[in-house]
Amino acid sequence: MRRNNYKTEECGERPWGHWKVDEIGDGFVKKTITVNVGGCLSLQSHEHRSEQWEIIEGTAEVTINDTISQFSVGAVIDIPLKAIHRLKNAGNSVLVVKETQSGDMLDENDIIRYEDIYNRNKTIFIADMDGTLTPARLPMTDEFANFFEKFIEKNIFFVVSGSDLQKVKEQMPENIIDKIAGLYCSMGNEFYLNNELIYRNEFVPADSMIEKLEHYRKNTKYPGKLFENYIEKRQGMVNFSVLGRNCPQEARIAYKKWDDLHKERQKIAAELSEMYPDYDISVGGNISIDIVPHGFGKEQVAAKLREIYKNEKIVFIGDRTEEGGNDYSLAQELLRLGNAQIVAVDGPSDTLKFLKENAS
């Protein structure tokens, strides 16, 4: 599936100069790159595209892996996929290059920087949604959305949620979803970019597990009313709620208060983990339990991000990063892979405070 995130006439200002999109098509983008005198692009590579440079004006110094060469007007240079390369203005006048990008996924964020004289090795942010960016199962507040929109315009920000795409859209404004770098739904078992599905994991839960969940529902000690949609089969996972996900907000609050005291969800998760060692079972949100096969939890997102951002620092923000919470596996895997920071929050207000302190 091909994806092109550029737009004709789109422009980008950079510390070394600027670029402008001249033409886009199926699997290609043509840009004009203008490099100021003394300007130098970062030493970089791309995971999803090859490039071709044609020198229109000036003199270029081009690095491709271990080779550094100079080129003048008329030269055409091919940059293979994943080659480590750099473009530098080596003359006393402006350098103009026609660049053609070719690949199945064309995106300005597809850059891995190894050296940069302008210190642009960005921090990559990723956050849970429920209880982190939004109140549990409620829309993002206007105050949060107004600040967050400005933050994600300047930073690479991913969102990972236990919810499916429809529920995410009920909680996050469309303009926010459009501007984030990517959206991982259903514990990372679906990935969307600009509302387009990029990949999906399949999972069919064991019949015996579903029967066990029915047993917990039937035999709960919770004294309040129960609601429908208590076993929700999502892509790559099962979400179970004794209370039922079709509950009103006041019932959600009441159950959480009762569960904080009686630990029903923790007990169920512990018992299921013993019975089904091939599954990862964690407490999520305020009323539910997330069930996934090994490797289908949020931890899978860590490896996918590190495939793209090999050297950048990754900051993960979540409200369930403690052991047993459904953010724990992702937090631990990021720490294992290195150059990561875990920010544990108690709600969107904590997240907003952290983002304001780290706004660029």
Topology of the domain comprising 3-115: Jelly Rolls (2.60.120)
Superfamily of domain 124-201+312-357: HAD superfamily/HAD-like (3.40.50.1000)
Instruction: Answer whether residue 360 shows pLDDT above 70.
Output: no
pLDDT bracket for residue 184 (50, 70, 90): very high
Among 44, 3, 5, 47, smallest CA distance to 305 is for: 47
Kindly report, residue by residue over 302-352, the tens digit of the pLDDT.
999 988 888 788 999 999 999 888 899 999 999 999 999 999 999 999 999
Q: In this prediction, what percent of the chain has a pLDDT beyond 70?
A: 99
Q: How far is residue 194's CA from residue 208's CA, in Å, rounded to a whole number?
A: 38
Residue 108: pLDDT band (50, 70, 90) is: confident
Residues 6+ apart with CB under 8 A from 295: none
CA torsion sign for 300, 305, 307, 312 is negative
pLDDT value at residue 320: 92
Cβ partners under 8 Å of residue 37, min gap 6: 89, 91, 92, 93, 94
Q: How confident is the model at residue 254 (pLDDT cuts 50, 70, 90)?
A: very high
Residues 6+ apart with CB under 8 A from 292: 187, 189, 203, 236, 237, 238, 279, 280
Say what the pLDDT of residue 15 is.
86
Which fold would CATH assign to domain 207-293?
3.30.1240
Mean pLDDT in residue range 85-96: 97
**Residue 194 confidence (pLDDT) above 90:** no
Interval 166-183: pLDDT, tens:
999 999 999 999 999 899
Of the given ranges (61-65, 191-195, 228-232), which has the lowest mean pLDDT? 191-195
Q: Give me the pLDDT at residue 110, please.
A: 82
In the chain, the amino acid numbered 167 is K
Could you tell me the pTM of the whole model?
0.60
pLDDT at 1: 61
Spell out the domain ranges in the chain.
3-115, 124-201+312-357, 207-293
Asked whether the CA dihedral 111, 112, 113, 119 is positive or negative, the reply is positive
Q: How many CA atoms lie within 13 A of 254 on its CB side?
A: 13
* Burial of residue 360 (number of CB atoms within 10 Å: 0-12, 13-18, 19+): exposed
What span, in angstroms and rounded, lies between the C-alpha atoms of 111 and 284?
A: 34
